[in-house]
Amino acid sequence: MPLMEDDVLSKIYYCMERIIVFDGIDDVLQHVVKTASSLTASDAATIRLFNLQTGKLDIKAGIGLSSDFLAQPPLELGEGIIGKVVQDCKEFISTDVTKESHCSQKDLAQVEGINSILSVPLKNKEKAIGSLSIYRKSSKAFTDSELLLMSIFAAQAVEAVEKTNQLESLKKQAIFDQLTDVYNRHYVIKRLDEEIKRANRFNHPITITFIDIDDFKKFNDKHGHLLGDKLLKDFTQLIRKGLRKNDLLGRYGGEEFLLVTPETDKEGAQAIANKLLALTKKYSFLGCDGDVTGVSFSAGISCYPEDGTTSEELIDIADKAMYEAKKRGKKSVVLSGKQITA
């Protein structure tokens, strides 16, 4: 029965429709390789995708292959059979990969018992973003009908991958601040509410540190908004390095940040604030006329349950303490009406 009859096309449609039930890109890719192998009665399948950070092709999903095969290093564009498929944006078929001069992993192919291969580029409107490859452990050749089938399926798979990436990006935007890549205001307050419930259940303290970068407007006026954005980005990266695993950092607005430290009393919050302030004052931020050191922040700290039992109360008290730090000359942290020297 020809592969391109209506029942096979219906199966492709069904397989692609099922992709919408998966939560993330890893599930989508695993579904694609399973489906590709099933549609062609192949023994194995892999997907490689181009990694923008490394400029190489990583194996992102596979089926029917050993862990050693799937753990092989990334390929350069143009390297090996699959590297050429992606670089040339052109499919490749062979009944014996070990006899192909540009096969870069002949030993691995022999260990796996792979003979035949069909590899097609994963193409969007502009370029190939990776490859979908299917393998047989026999020398049975892949047919033109199977090539056409995989080309159609690959086009649908690319669309699914890109839509899934877009959805994950939207989900991330709902949680993270785009500029600083820390939690946004809405989400950090949501997490704070959750931590308050947990603190109440287990009778643990939780501290809130409201942070405001000192003289940020002056920095923007002197160095420009682009370098101001970079300062915010560098500042949050610096702060995150000084935090513990369970601490939560969110951008509250502008140059204001909210730090939530679960299971931490005021003395613990004091130690964290001192360390972060010292790190910030020593760090060299990029300015328009060279590096700028001495950037500081003012902060106020409140604690659950003694200062409040809701996120609104705790944030309000920490915010007022932060403004008290501003009045006292900035570059400092105010805790429950007392100034903590940095």
pLDDT in tens, 249-301: 999 999 999 999 999 998 899 899 999 999 999 999 998 888 888 899 999 99
Domain spans, the chain: 6-173, 185-340
Which one is catalytic: 255, 263, 267, 324? 255
Q: How many helices (H) and strands (E) does the chain have?
A: 11, 14
Average confidence (pLDDT) over 200-211: 95
> What confidence score (pLDDT) does residue 126 get?
80
Q: Which of 42, 56, 66, 64 is nearest to 119 (CA)?
A: 42
Task: Give every CB contact of residue 114 below 8 A, 6+ residues apart in sequence.
Answer: 43, 44, 97, 135, 136, 137
**Is residue 162 flagged as an active site residue?**
no
pLDDT at 160 over 60: yes
> What confidence score (pLDDT) does residue 16 get?
57
What is the spatial distance between Cα 237 and Cα 115, in angstroms, rounded to a whole number?
49
pLDDT at 2 over 70: no
Q: Which of 323, 297, 172 is nearest to 235 (CA)?
A: 297
Out of 3.30.70.1290, 3.30.720.210, 3.40.50.720, 3.30.450.40, the CATH code matching 6-173 is 3.30.450.40
Q: What is the mean pLDDT of the chain?
A: 88
What residue type is 309 in one-letter code?
A: T
pLDDT at 69 over 90: yes
What is the spatial distance between Cα 260 and Cα 245, in angstroms, rounded to a whole number?
12
> What confidence score (pLDDT) does residue 169 get?
76
> What confidence score (pLDDT) does residue 276 get?
96
Average confidence (pLDDT) over 105-118: 91
Average confidence (pLDDT) over 79-83: 93
52's tokens: 């923008």
Write a three-state SS string for 95-160: CCHHHCCCCCCHHHHHHHCCCEEEEEEEECCCCEEEEEEEEECCCCCCCHHHHHHHHHHHHHHHHH
Which CATH superfamily groups domain 185-340?
Answer: Reverse transcriptase/Diguanylate cyclase domain (3.30.70.270)
What is the spatial distance between Cα 146 and Cα 89, in angstroms, rounded to a whole number?
18
> What confidence score (pLDDT) does residue 262 get?
95
> pTM of this prediction?
0.58
> What confidence score (pLDDT) does residue 339 get?
46
What is the spatial distance between Cα 254 and Cα 232, in angstroms, rounded to a whole number?
9
pLDDT at 193 over 90: yes
Region class of 65: left (phi > 0), else alpha (psi between -120 and 50), else beta:
beta
Whether the CB-CB separation of 106 and 86 falls below 8 Å is answered with no
pLDDT at 342 over 80: no
pLDDT at 22 over 70: no
pLDDT at 21 over 60: no
Percent of the chain with pLDDT over 90: 64
pLDDT at 68 over 60: yes
